[in-house]
Amino acid sequence: GFAKIDTERNKRTGVPEIIYGEGKTAEQIIGIVEAMLEKQNNILVTRVDSQKAKEVRKSLPQLHYDEVSEMLLWEKNPVAKTIGKIAIVTAGTSDLKIAEEAAVTAEAFGNSVVRIYDVGVAGIHRLFARIDEIRAAQVVIVIAGMEGALASVVGGLVSSPVIAVPTSVGYGTAFNGMAALLTMLNSCATGITVVNIDNGFGAGYSASKINHLAEAAK
Amino acid sequence: GFAKIDTERNKRTGVPEIIYGEGKTAEQIIGIVEAMLEKQNNILVTRVDSQKAKEVRKSLPQLHYDEVSEMLLWEKNPVAKTIGKIAIVTAGTSDLKIAEEAAVTAEAFGNSVVRIYDVGVAGIHRLFARIDEIRAAQVVIVIAGMEGALASVVGGLVSSPVIAVPTSVGYGTAFNGMAALLTMLNSCATGITVVNIDNGFGAGYSASKINHLAEAAK
Amino acid sequence: GFAKIDTERNKRTGVPEIIYGEGKTAEQIIGIVEAMLEKQNNILVTRVDSQKAKEVRKSLPQLHYDEVSEMLLWEKNPVAKTIGKIAIVTAGTSDLKIAEEAAVTAEAFGNSVVRIYDVGVAGIHRLFARIDEIRAAQVVIVIAGMEGALASVVGGLVSSPVIAVPTSVGYGTAFNGMAALLTMLNSCATGITVVNIDNGFGAGYSASKINHLAEAAK
Amino acid sequence: GFAKIDTERNKRTGVPEIIYGEGKTAEQIIGIVEAMLEKQNNILVTRVDSQKAKEVRKSLPQLHYDEVSEMLLWEKNPVAKTIGKIAIVTAGTSDLKIAEEAAVTAEAFGNSVVRIYDVGVAGIHRLFARIDEIRAAQVVIVIAGMEGALASVVGGLVSSPVIAVPTSVGYGTAFNGMAALLTMLNSCATGITVVNIDNGFGAGYSASKINHLAEAAK
Amino acid sequence: GFAKIDTERNKRTGVPEIIYGEGKTAEQIIGIVEAMLEKQNNILVTRVDSQKAKEVRKSLPQLHYDEVSEMLLWEKNPVAKTIGKIAIVTAGTSDLKIAEEAAVTAEAFGNSVVRIYDVGVAGIHRLFARIDEIRAAQVVIVIAGMEGALASVVGGLVSSPVIAVPTSVGYGTAFNGMAALLTMLNSCATGITVVNIDNGFGAGYSASKINHLAEAAK
Amino acid sequence: GFAKIDTERNKRTGVPEIIYGEGKTAEQIIGIVEAMLEKQNNILVTRVDSQKAKEVRKSLPQLHYDEVSEMLLWEKNPVAKTIGKIAIVTAGTSDLKIAEEAAVTAEAFGNSVVRIYDVGVAGIHRLFARIDEIRAAQVVIVIAGMEGALASVVGGLVSSPVIAVPTSVGYGTAFNGMAALLTMLNSCATGITVVNIDNGFGAGYSASKINHLAEAAK
Amino acid sequence: GFAKIDTERNKRTGVPEIIYGEGKTAEQIIGIVEAMLEKQNNILVTRVDSQKAKEVRKSLPQLHYDEVSEMLLWEKNPVAKTIGKIAIVTAGTSDLKIAEEAAVTAEAFGNSVVRIYDVGVAGIHRLFARIDEIRAAQVVIVIAGMEGALASVVGGLVSSPVIAVPTSVGYGTAFNGMAALLTMLNSCATGITVVNIDNGFGAGYSASKINHLAEAAK
Amino acid sequence: GFAKIDTERNKRTGVPEIIYGEGKTAEQIIGIVEAMLEKQNNILVTRVDSQKAKEVRKSLPQLHYDEVSEMLLWEKNPVAKTIGKIAIVTAGTSDLKIAEEAAVTAEAFGNSVVRIYDVGVAGIHRLFARIDEIRAAQVVIVIAGMEGALASVVGGLVSSPVIAVPTSVGYGTAFNGMAALLTMLNSCATGITVVNIDNGFGAGYSASKINHLAEAAK
Ligand SMILES: Nc1ncnc2c1ncn2[C@@H]1O[C@H](COP(=O)(O)O)[C@@H](O)[C@H]1O
Ligand SMILES: Nc1ncnc2c1ncn2[C@@H]1O[C@H](COP(=O)(O)O)[C@@H](O)[C@H]1O
Ligand SMILES: Nc1ncnc2c1ncn2[C@@H]1O[C@H](COP(=O)(O)O)[C@@H](O)[C@H]1O
Ligand SMILES: Nc1ncnc2c1ncn2[C@@H]1O[C@H](COP(=O)(O)O)[C@@H](O)[C@H]1O
Ligand SMILES: [Mg+2]
Ligand SMILES: [Mg+2]
Ligand SMILES: [Mg+2]
Ligand SMILES: [Mg+2]
Ligand SMILES: [Mg+2]
Ligand SMILES: [Mg+2]
Ligand SMILES: [Mg+2]
Ligand SMILES: [Mg+2]
């Protein structure tokens, strides 16, 4: 009825349709998921609060709910993980939700992920302590709120592609992520591309595309 | 004196330092280039208007000036081009300068580039006419001003990573590229990452990083 | 007392006064409706949440409440529907409320409406599957949130007037509909006019005016 | 080479491709026009300053340059004008350029136009003096800068569709047309749709579409 | 303790200190009022919601709470009202709260007020029906949300000073009053001055100053 | 032809139409002035740069050009000046142009003006040195750029109505007058109303209306 | 696990890491505090609402909760207070929370603080009554919302460094502190530096650094 | 005449009045300087382009013009320099003008300055190479455009007060310094205060105040 599911997307873009949970009712999500179960190997629903997740899981108990990333997940046949890694680096502990959204997305699409959290530039030695792990990754996702300076610092230290995710962490002139977004778009460290504020999912998805390109070379 | 050239950048990030020409005098550019000539295989200076380029070339005639992209270039030893391609797709003919900035940058770092210009969504059949070439590329750069809708359409049709570049083409509420930027950051087609308005250079640079990762697999 | 109802509006503009429900108390709405019941063939109240609708319907049970569009409606004498159609096209399922606000408004003013929902550009084949229905309409309303690119694509494919409605669907830099609004105002596909964010009512109303002009020719 | 002309546009959308002159060189415009001359009945180039127009006309003397609207025009076979009229109403004398862009566009597509200029709300009796002419039109275009209140007043007085064009006339918080744009998008007089700031062309084009729908009924 | 009451203000500016209730606790308001009771003839507290008003009135039952304007009031000795009038004109019924804030303030400072509500430009005949009353006033306050065009229309029709108050009524691009504010600041009808969004109090206060200047002449 | 002069304005609003010179050609200004010369006692043209003024004065040498305020002026019969005064207070010497626009406008409408310039809050003793003159005025115009704090300080010290004019003096986050405008709209000193950025004319005009009301009482 | 505490910060920057409480769960705060208790002499947690504070204090009852500043505090060994003082000056009583955040922070780092509250420019004599105390301080923190003019006035009267804190007090165009922030950044009184909106903590911290530099001279 | 010079400022604030050159004519500058020569030991005029400087120096040849900082300077009696240092750190070579404005200002008020230029985070080893010099300073000024991340990195590494200056270097979403400003206001490294975009002068002035406080301790 109300939704046209894009079941061809996998063929066309290499990745199946993902459901954007915000602003949809539990019933709408259930309807869409049911129509997908047959045709897709993975089901991902993003931005689902715990209350709505509960309601969805009454009808669809096979879906797993990840509390931190607020995602609903289901995997028909387990996918092998890549050798090459996606490093996910955050500035603070408040960026956890978005980081996990990126991580869970990337893992759902068969990537190995390494988590390097709370290494923001206010204490830059924490970053240097783990820089080798970051440099070893095929793709790096940098996640930061407030002023988002971590993206520039990481961008200046690694040779792999860097995807930056501004988060809405902060107050006042942080403007719900605008300050971090502008930082990332204007980074003097070239080689950084950017996604929407709090879009951990998009970063995980793009990083997966790149990592799979690289994986073929392993 | 006044400039600390980052001669280690190549080792650290895989790409040498590039000079940002805007707001620098011809003398400053000459000074920085001279300090680099010994140590780098490529010299790239971005955003140099033709008048300033002329002055720089009086002292450094070996630099080539590309009129369309407004870049100064020099290559010590020719670099082999990749088998895999970077597709550069533009919405209109007014996006040419930025498209060439991306193309010339990518070529300077050893990439094969395919140019697909003026295929904006107002006449979407023009895009479909060339969609196979776009799909064949390892990485796609989409460049558009005004409302920038081309990025979403391409993003929904290809499986490779897409880097979107908003341009300042347009007037009124185009706000010098803001309309296109917001379009690209909010694209309903996932897998798109974005760079600053008019930053063809950054897009070419990031695409090169990804293409070289993929190339290893060839 | 507190409200001067514009009972002449029908004569002057061809359409009766419609009540903007937001920010009005149930009592105020009841007072205004009562003063209108005698003089108008249609009563429309927009943006009434279900709680407030309930209170109003205690005094005025003859009003119908449409749950999806959140409108209160009453029609004295049924109006014949037009032969020519208004096509209402949405990008996603989250645009439903606004789409129905447009549809219900248009129908209340005697228009035939065809609903084409969830055909956004991320899966553009869904749009092409229904393009003939869209092309057959006298007027097309395109409703989209996030980046709103659907308006440009439709605008490039049809010859009838297109009215675009940005919705507040999205997060971060979607800025509650600003991204979609800017897209629509700057569309490279000419022939698109735009209404306020989430203003399904205004789009339905304007489309009705155009459709009735065209209808005379049938 | 560099431009893909959309020669199918006429078939698809009922109107041929129009050239956006801003940011294009005279050579680019000449190239595009030459490729179109064979295939289209009308050539329109918008936003061409007088200097550039001169250069274009050296190669293409058959193009007519309209000084006020800054458009280049050419018509192969004269098109008959409609019986129904498009009224173009401006608030001040400073809105002339944009008003003529709308008028010339509408006339080029075969519409009869009535010009009602400098009747802004500071002296509202000027508007009432001509309200009958405005009411007699099939479509009304209202053009205003500064605070743009004229659109609301006209919108409350006519029954035909109203297209509003904000202009960049004004200073300070007029923000180059933003104040007028917001006024028009938020008009309490329903039935108004809006185009980009200074987009007289788009308004003339959309009005033409509507007027031709209505004309069939004459 | 925590507050330095400006008991000299009356002498200095002709009007006593007024308490801004928003963001203050009931206890803070009680403390400030108690310190003022002795020294001032009027107590006014603005922006007090009904819950907080209740708490304040437990300690200070002599204060009157005006439900519509959300003000707390107390008057030691009744002040005679002016012969000259302040006209308060609103566009819609949703502007009531702000209009009453202005009216109650003006009356508290001894002014005669005439209320002319819901005469917005969508039905301009409602305004003309009462224009003589408006013209008879010494000062006119125009209050409007959405696009705020009423201020310009009134400004073009009267010879007395006009104070315009934008309200936060509206949605989408009304931006909580910004659209109306910009309209009022850019009005083509000269002789309009403007106060902050929703600042009915400030408008009533300024109008009172002007009206008292004029009153001396009666 | 192109302009409808509002010759009734004087009767309706007590003040004749004033010509907004910006964006008009010298020919347009000449045409409008000629149509007014018969009917109005005063001609005022605002925002005319010296080059355009020269051209206008070739045809209309009786117009006087005021270099500082950039206004063109003509007065048929001298008007007597008021006893009550308008004080014009500026923060810095850079606000001179706008201050004189206000002063010249006020004088043209028969007001006595007292100029108190360069008394900004960085050296607040300069303000106190002249506070008695300011307090003696019937109306006070405060003109300031940068942060515009002077308006609040004056507003807290006088009992007459205060009209504040933000100017575009400043750089960076002064945002061409926005910082000063926001200061003035949010002033904690009540009784301040505000006009558009750099609108000295509007302030002079409004102050004149108020001063004439007060004058009747002398 | 999830947080890397920056235990070296004291050595590196002279002040220990402070916990930003907003957006962290009680559990996360407890975890971080426990890891710090051993290593730091002071524990400070900012922006903790009373509910969350209660939960934290169940596990960590030794933490003191300051209701006004909404901070959690703990001090191992009492630090001696400086002879030189930090003056904290506020415009209104609504700025109390932010002022106390600054005061409590400064005291925690061993500074003597003098509080001078509610002396805004609407009643400037209140400021002059206490100007000697302000002038006697080594550093001055000025805290104001609405238009924030107090910073400029104080800046023009003292010779010590001034740190200005805009607060989110106000409504409408106060834009949650933006108006005050712009005032402070554009102050015509030089020698003022600014921190983020509502960042009392940052101001107290910076003032402490300066005061300790000065203290060495006592 | 037109300017009230604040000759008491030195006594009141410890520093003499400085002339803001932008928007003033050469004649106005000359007039103000002449009035100051007698009373002040230092004359500083900021933001004077070379053309205007030339004109001023025709009348006042004793003024020195500093080409890089675009300042005019004059010193009656040489002031001894402090032992403690102000470190001025820039991200790029394009920040030179603003850096020198800060440096020249600080030196004019008797401070020793150490310049550490072009050490931005894209090549962070350049910063570490000079970190000891920065740490040795009493006060640090960090100057950066684009994304301004350098301020956060330096802020996390030093114990002295840090004043950050955003510059307008950059393009697109750098928004003439807004991106860098937001970064600096939201820095996760506490202890940073900020001045207006491109306000090197203000930073030099504030740093001087702090350095002189510290100097007393030497
Ligand atoms: N067009 C460009 N857009 C964005 N960044 C650039 C551009 N050209 C050069 N860059 C980067 O700018 C930095 C050079 O800054 P600078 O030291 O001022 O020359 C380097 O990190 C370059 O990679
Ligand atoms: N003044 C104008 N404003 C908005 N769109 C225009 C204007 N002139 C032409 N166009 C549209 O811009 C597109 C042409 O873009 P381009 O390929 O860059 O020439 C076409 O779709 C035209 O319909
Ligand atoms: N400097 C000015 N700022 C604002 N409004 C002005 C100014 N000068 C003239 N006006 C007003 O602008 C209108 C004239 O517009 P126009 O018909 O374009 O000349 C009149 O209503 C004048 O009262
Ligand atoms: N209220 C506050 N405003 C700004 N920064 C803060 C605040 N409270 C703590 N911080 C800083 O925020 C950082 C802590 O971030 P996190 O790791 O998320 O706890 C530290 O660098 C603190 O110095
Ligand atoms: Mg942390
Ligand atoms: Mg084209
Ligand atoms: Mg969908
Ligand atoms: Mg006019
Ligand atoms: Mg109404
Ligand atoms: Mg001065
Ligand atoms: Mg107070
Ligand atoms: Mg550099």
* Per-residue confidence band for H12, with pLDDT thresholds at 50, 70 and 90: low
Instruction: Tell me the shortest Cα–Cα distance from C154 to chain B, in angstroms.
Output: 9
Nearest to H6 among F123, F169, F172 (CB): F123
E12 CB neighbours in chain F (<8 A) are 156-159
Contact between chains at H192 and G209 (C-beta distance less than 8 A):
no
Which residues lie with the beta carbon below 6 Å from any ligand 2 atom?
B 92-94, 118, 122; C 188, 190; D 17-20, 46-47, 199, 201-202
Residue G188 dihedral angles phi and psi, to the nearest 5°: -75, -15
Task: Give phi and psi for D130, each to the nearest 5.
Answer: -125, 15
Helix axes B178-185, C178-185, angle to 10 degrees: 130
* pLDDT of B1 strictly over 60: no
CB distance B175 to ligand 1 below 6 Å: no
Q: pLDDT tens across H85-111, in order?
A: 999 999 999 999 999 999 999 999 999
Instruction: For residue range G92-102, list pLDDT tens digits in order.
Output: 999 999 999 99
CA of G6 to the centre of ligand 5 (A): 7
Q: Is the sign of the CA dihedral A116, A118, A120, A126 positive or negative?
A: negative
Which is nearest to G99 in space by CA: G208, G199, G211? G199
Check pLDDT > 80 for residue C217: no
> Does pLDDT of A218 surpass 70?
no
F3 interaction partners in chain D (CB closer than 8 Å): 93, 117-118
Question: Are H168 and F172 an interchain contact pair (Cβ–Cβ within 8 Å)?
Answer: yes
Q: How confident is the model at residue B47 (pLDDT cuts 50, 70, 90)?
A: very high
CA–CA distances in Å: residue F183 to residues C61, C121, G150, G171, H218: 50, 45, 11, 12, 42
| HSE of A82, CA atoms in CB hemisphere, 13 A | 28
Note the pLDDT of residue E132. 97
In short, whether B202's Cβ falls inside 6 Å of ligand 1 is yes
Q: Measure CA B131 to chain center.
A: 21
Burial code (b: 16+ CB inside 10 Å, e: under 16) for C41-72 equals ebbbbbbbeeebbeebbeebeebebeeebbbb
| Residue of B89, B90, B93, B115 to mutate for D, most D C-beta atoms under 10 A | B93
Do the beta carbons of residue F127 and residue F150 sit within 8 Å?
Answer: yes
D7 lines ligand 3 (CB under 6 A): no
Instruction: Verify whether the Cβ–Cβ distance E94 to C198 is below 8 Å.
Output: no
Verify whether the Cβ–Cβ distance B15 to A213 is below 8 Å: no
- pLDDT tens, E32-48? 999 898 888 889 999 99
Q: Which residues contact C94 (CB under 8 A, 6 or more apart)?
A: A20, A22, A23, A24, C145, C167, C169
Pick from E200, E207, E165: nearest CA to E185: E165
Residue of F nearest to D124 (CA): F6
* Ligand 1: centre distance to CA A188 (Å): 6
pLDDT at C79: 81
- Quick check: helix, strand or coil at residue H88? strand
Q: Does B133 touch chain D (CB under 8 A)?
A: no
Q: Which of H137, H115, H108, H138 has the alpha carbon at shortest distance from H205?
A: H108
D93, F176: Cβ pair inside 8 Å?
Answer: no
pLDDT above 90 (res C15): no
The token duo for E75 is 């008057």
Give me the pLDDT at residue A40, please.
83
- Helix or strand (DSSP H, E) at F108: helix F96-108
Q: How far apart are CA C140 and CA C125, in angstroms?
A: 19
Closest CA to A191 of B206, B20, B102: B206
Asked whether the predicted pLDDT for residue B9 surpasses 80, the reply is no
d(CA G32, CA G2): 9
Closest-lying ligand to the alpha carbon of D95?
A: 3
Among the atoms of ligand 4, which is closest to the Cα of residue H156? 21
Starting from the CA of residue H9, give the closest ligand.
10
Give yes or no for a contact between G105 and G11, defined as CB atoms under 8 angstroms apart.
Answer: no
Consecutive sets of 10 residues in chain D, 218 residues long: mean pLDDT of each? Answer: 69 76 93 89 94 98 97 90 97 95 96 97 93 97 97 95 98 97 95 97 97 84
Q: State the chains in contact with A (3 or more Cβ–Cβ pairs under 8 Å).
A: B, C, G, H
Q: How many CB atoms lie within 10 A of CB E78?
A: 8
Q: Ligand 4 centre and the CA of F161: distance in Å?
A: 45
Q: Does residue H24 carry a pLDDT above 70?
A: yes
B20–H174: do the CB atoms touch at under 8 Å? no
Collect residues with CB below 5 Å from ion ligand 11. G 92, 118
Does F197 contact chain D (CB < 8 Å)? Answer: yes
Atom of ligand 1 nearest to the CA of B9: 21
Residue G117 contacts H where some CB pair is shorter than 8 Å: no
Do E201 and F185 make contact, defined as CB atoms within 8 angstroms? no
In Å, what is the CA distance from H43 to each residue of B142, F213, G161, H39, H73? 54, 48, 21, 10, 6
Chain F residue with Cα closest to D146:
F196
Match 């003098």 to its residue by tokens.
G114
Q: Please list every residue in chain F whose beta carbon sits closer than 8 Å to the beta carbon of residue E18.
A: 190
Nearest CA in chain C to B179: C182
* End-to-end Cα spacing for chain G: 45
The Å distance, Cα D130 to ligand 9 centre, comes to 26
All residues of chain D having their beta carbon less than 8 Å from the beta carbon of residue C201 are 190
Interchain CB contacts (distance < 8 Å): F and G = 114
At residue B13 the predicted structure's pLDDT band, cuts being 50, 70 and 90, is low
CB atoms B122 and D6 under 8 Å: yes
F111 contacts G145 by C-beta, under 8 angstroms: no
Residue identifier of the C-alpha nearest atom 9 of ligand 2: D20
Q: What is the 3-state secondary structure (H, E, C) of chain G?
A: CCCCCCCCHHHHHCCCCCEECCCCCHHHHHHHHHHHHCCCCEEEEECCCHHHHHHHHHHCCCCEEECCCCEEEEECCCCCCCCCEEEEEECCHHHHHHHHHHHHHHHHCCCEEEEECCCCHHHCHHHHCCHHHHHHCCEEEEEECCCCCHHHHHHCCCCCCEEEEECCCCCHHHHHHHHHHHHHHCCCCCCEEECCCCCHHHHHHHHHHHHHHHHCCC
> For C10, which residue in chain E has the nearest alpha carbon?
E123
Mean pLDDT of G156-177: 97
Chain A residues with CB under 8 Å of B194 CB are 185, 193-195
- pLDDT tens per residue, range F73-104: 998 888 889 999 999 999 999 999 999 999 99
Nearby residues of F80 by Cβ (< 8 Å), 6 or more positions away: F110
All residues of chain F having their beta carbon less than 8 Å from the beta carbon of residue G167 are none
The rounded Å distance from CA G72 to ligand 12 centre is 43
Q: How far is the CA of F6 from the centre of ligand 9 (A)?
A: 30
Question: Residue A8: which pLDDT band, with cuts at 50, 70 and 90?
Answer: low
pTM: 0.94
* CA F180/CA F164 separation, integer angstroms: 10
Residues counted in chain E:
218
CA distance D59 to D30: 7
The tens digit of pLDDT for each residue in B122-164 reads: 889 999 999 999 999 999 999 999 999 999 999 999 999 999 9
Residue F12 has pLDDT above 90, yes or no: no
User: Are C144 and C91 a contacting pair, CB within 8 Å?
Assistant: yes
pLDDT tens digits, one per residue of D85-113: 999 999 999 999 999 999 999 999 999 99
For residue C186, how far is its CA from the centre of ligand 2 (angstroms)? Answer: 10
Tokens coding E102: 């202005």
With beta carbons under 8 A apart, name residues in chain E contacting F191.
13, 15, 202, 205-206, 209
Please, do chains H and G touch (3+ CB pairs < 8 Å)?
Answer: yes
Query: β-strands A42-46, A19-20: how paired?
Result: parallel
Six-digit token string for D101: 């862009």
Q: Which two tokens stand for residue B53?
A: 């380029």
Spacing, Cα G50 to ligand 2 middle (Å): 58
